[in-house]
A and B are shown apart, each in its own frame.
Chain A
């Protein structure tokens, strides 16, 4: 018998210094992971980037198109130069609105969108970065009853981003990379039991 899953979505946000952490997480993430994973990274616009290929470590990672449904077992990367939102029917929609926190994609927007659609069933992880994008979004997830994890600032290449989340609201759980990996493995095991 499979228990109902505690979480329905995992959103991961990162900026400067987050690539190597992300690579490690993706390397260790149980595959297939039982819930959709959505990654938001700050990146350059209007340049051809191979970021999706770079991150396709154990399984292919795709940039979603507008209206694409979120599927369990898939890992998605927010495309450059758009905000990535989630609709209540479980599909993505893209938004070309003004940058938020100087960023497009903005982590705050995807995190907030996950919080409003999945509420307590959302899980957010905020990694290393040199600005404060993502902090408000992670707190939205926590306020909605979900779980918010920040990379422990002393282990982050740039501590501003995870620290901003920890300072902004109670309930953000700081974790080392190993801590996060263990946590994510547990989710996957809980699903199988």
Chain B
């Protein structure tokens, strides 16, 4: 494993990845990405940066493995219960006035957040009218998401989160438990489509009433955050909602004046007309 990567090597690696494979990590926040690189060298038994560069330059399969490993793919159902409670109370009632409700989960990882949303929508009687577009740049995440499988050992935590988010149903009705995975009820997944979309390189593809992009901006530097907020602005209907992660902020973003806070603590904003 490589203990620490110098700034020079880091820049080289990002360049190699961009030029060879078209994935652009230039404007990612360096502290975390550097750590992902070193962590990957541990996983792939690589002992120096030269070897890492050499493999990247010569082995496309190696890169595919690497790219799936370096994005942070962690997620939870109903993470930050207060956020979901706010969605229930302040956002969904407003969305109810649209005949068709289009929602985009950008950076959905393996889907846990999307299923949580589907549960809220079902409980609000809105799921039938919803089209949920769930995207990520990591293909392995999407393959996992399409299966609707969640680790069974986490279900206890998720049940607590669900209850704290204001859920009153029996949470176990929403999935079928196997030995070590739980499969989210197929009926809940009826209006979700998962597909690949890279926020750095891909464009606007639809118009939404709500965009959820949580815990993705933390991996971007300010320049990239700003570009992606522009993309979201253009992808929202007027007065459409944008939800970020609980510790993410528009404060350092020049686009912030185009949005107004709906619930500042839970990082829900609305596109101004």
**21 A–B contacts, CB within 8 A, in A order:** A46-B76, A48-B82, A63-B247, A65-B247, A66-B217, A66-B218, A66-B247, A67-B225, A68-B249, A68-B252, A81-B79, A82-B247, A85-B31, A93-B29, A94-B218, A95-B218, A95-B219, A96-B74, A96-B215, A97-B36, A98-B74
Please tell me which stretch of B48-56, B128-136, B156-164, B186-194 contacts chain A, meaning at least 4 of its Cβ atoms lie within 8 angstroms of it: B156-164
Instruction: Check if B255 is an interface residue, CB within 8 A of chain A.
Output: no
Kindly list chain B residues whose C-beta atoms are within 8 Å of the C-beta of A95.
Answer: 31-32, 35, 72, 218-219
Q: Chain A, 59-89, contact with B by CB distance < 8 Å: what is the 0/1 string?
A: 0000111111000000000010110011110
Instruction: Check if A8 is an interface residue, CB within 8 A of chain B.
Output: no
Q: Chain B, 199-218, contact with A by CB distance < 8 Å: what is the 0/1 string?
A: 00000000000000001011
Rounded to whole Å, the gap between the CB of B245 and the closest CB of chain A is 8
Report, nearest first, the 9 A-B pairs whose CB atoms are least far apart. A85-B31, A93-B29, A65-B249, A95-B32, A94-B218, A97-B72, A66-B218, A96-B215, A67-B252
* Chain B CB within 10 A, most for which of A88, A94, A109: A94
Instruction: Check if A116 is an interface residue, CB within 8 A of chain B.
Output: yes
Rounded to whole Å, the gap between the CB of A50 and the closest CB of chain B is 14
Taking a contact as CB atoms under 8 Å apart, the answer to whether A46 and B249 are in contact is no
Classify chain A's interface size: 20 to 34
Kindly list chain B residues whose C-beta atoms are within 8 Å of the C-beta of A113.
Answer: 31
Instruction: Check if B24 is an interface residue, CB within 8 A of chain A.
Output: no
Q: How far is the CA of A82 from the CA of B80 in the complex (A)?
A: 12
Taking a contact as CB atoms under 8 Å apart, the answer to whether B4 and A116 are in contact is yes
Rounded to whole Å, the gap between the CB of A152 and the closest CB of chain B is 29
Residue of A at shortest CB range from B214? A96
Kindly list chain B residues whose C-beta atoms are within 8 Å of the C-beta of A48.
Answer: 82
Kindly list chain A residues whose C-beta atoms are within 8 Å of the C-beta of B74.
Answer: 96-98
Kindly list chain B residues whose C-beta atoms are within 8 Å of the C-beta of A66.
Answer: 217-218, 245, 247-249
Kindly list chain A residues whose C-beta atoms are within 8 Å of the C-beta of B32.
Answer: 85, 93, 95, 97
Q: Chain A, 96-132, contact with B by CB distance < 8 Å: what is the 0/1 string?
A: 1110000000000100010010000000000000000
